[in-house]
Amino acid sequence: MTNVSIEMNKSSILKEINLSIIDGKCYGIIGRNGSGKSVLFKAIAGFIPIQTGEIWIDSHRVMEGTFLNNMGIIIESPNFINHFTALENLTCLAEIQRKIHKEEILTTLEKVGLGEAIHKKYKYFSLGMKQRLRIAQAIMENPAYYILDEPFNGLDEHGVQEVYQIIQELKRSGKTILLTSHDEKDIQTLCDSVFEIKGGLIHEI
């Protein structure tokens, strides 16, 4: 990421951001609410335009609308189809790239603690179950890169520990992770490096 600036509603959110990351590490992004963490993640994912600069991932330049086929993403609590079950929702998403089949989806649901809820409709899910399904969709295709914006939201302590284990497993597998959390403990425990966004600028701490 080189000299990236982002404006929203004529207001400057990020100013000439420079960020270089090494594959296989977990990076924590911290900052106050509204500091621009989610905006940064959306730009990296190709969800929003940038006004200046360039973003490159794995030798590919990220543009607005870019489809990143090797990235698992959770940004701002994405939702699913209410009348679909957990299995149906993930099967629908898996049809986009057709990298995985039912067996891998079932294995992923088991891994995130939804093995007994595969046929339960999403509209009946608790907050914690919804978050587990979001994590499942991010990891099910085993991508190389992950953007995890507050992945622990809505989880009880047991659920948090399970997600810790998943993230640590991803790290051991050489995956690259960008992570935010409102809990400093999560950042300290999981991240190899930490960056803070403040006043539209980013710096390593």
The two tokens of residue 94 are 């898996």
Give the pLDDT confidence of 84-105 residue by residue, as tens digits: 999 999 999 999 999 999 999 9
What is the percent of the chain where pLDDT is above 90?
A: 91
For residues 179 and 119, state if they share a domain.
Answer: no
For residues 5 and 61, state if they share a domain.
Answer: yes
Look at the chain and report how many structural domains it folds into.
2
Would you state the pLDDT for residue 139? Answer: 98
What pTM did the predictor assign? 0.93
2/53 Cα distance (integer angstroms): 5
Please give the full DSSP string across 124-140, using - where no structure is assigned: G--HHHHHHHHHHHHHT
For residues 125 and 113, state if they share a domain.
Answer: yes
For residues 153 and 139, state if they share a domain.
Answer: no
Question: Quick one: average pLDDT of 158-169?
Answer: 96
**Which residue range is the domain that position 123 belongs to?**
79-143
158/132 Cα distance (integer angstroms): 12
For residues 1 and 66, state if they share a domain.
Answer: yes
What is the percent of the chain where pLDDT is above 70?
A: 100
Domain end: 100, 121, 143, which one?
A: 143
For residues 158 and 196, state if they share a domain.
Answer: yes
For residues 110 and 151, state if they share a domain.
Answer: no
Split at pLDDT 50, 70, 90, the class of 146 is very high
For residues 7 and 57, state if they share a domain.
Answer: yes
Would you state the pLDDT for residue 62? Answer: 93
For residues 150 and 177, state if they share a domain.
Answer: yes
For residues 17 and 63, state if they share a domain.
Answer: yes
pLDDT at 63 over 90: no
Domain end: 118, 143, 168, which one?
A: 143
Would you state the pLDDT for residue 102? Answer: 97
Domain end: 91, 111, 143, which one?
A: 143
What is the CATH classification number for the domain harbouring 155? 3.40.50.300
37/35 Cα distance (integer angstroms): 6
pLDDT at 67 over 80: no
- The rounded mean pLDDT for the chain is 95
85/72 Cα distance (integer angstroms): 21
48/8 Cα distance (integer angstroms): 10
For residues 65 and 83, state if they share a domain.
Answer: no
For residues 41 and 19, state if they share a domain.
Answer: yes
